Structure 1
């Protein structure tokens, strides 16, 4: 299942490198982790539990770059499965 276009747009932005961002998207809780370039690479999507973890789905991002640069040539999100 592809990500919602608005969520994909939000995750295409750059954030603080190597950090965790907790947010809300269309009534769902999201948490994503960024890589050393500030690009979101792991996404947790669902409902936040009292301990702060999210029960829902986990996605990982594959990034392909233009050779010898940090420019993103292509990226896509893969559903890794349910999390409880």
Structure 2
């Protein structure tokens, strides 16, 4: 499953640093982990189970910056199934 533009836009926002955030988005349950700057870097998308985990797919985000701090790479990659 490819991430929609609306979801990528939602994930490009800043959130609380170094936390796990749970939310719903267009019928899917999301859980994502943020880095120390508050950028989502690990995403679980699918349906939440009774114990709180998300069963579906797992994505990882690559963020690269140049020496001045400008973002030069921002890419989400499918890593496999999330259980």
User: Is residue 77 of structure 2 the alignment partner of residue 78 of structure 1?
Assistant: yes
- What stretches of structure 2 of length at least 5 have no aligned partner? none
- Aligned residue for 1:34? 34
Give 1:2 deviation, angstroms.
Answer: 3.3
1:2–1:77 contact (8 Å) kept in structure 2: no
- What SS class does the counterpart of residue 67 from structure 1 fall into? coil
Deviations 1:4-48 (A, max 9, x none): 000000000111100111000110000000000000000000000
Deviations 1:31-76 (A, max 9, x none): 000000000000000000000000000000000112242x322201
Structure 1 runs of 4+ with >6 Å offset: none
Q: Cα RMSD over matched residues?
A: 1.1
- Aligned residue for 1:20? 20
- What stretches of structure 1 of length at least 5 have no aligned partner? none
- Aligned residue for 2:11? 11
TM-score by length of structure 1 reads 0.92
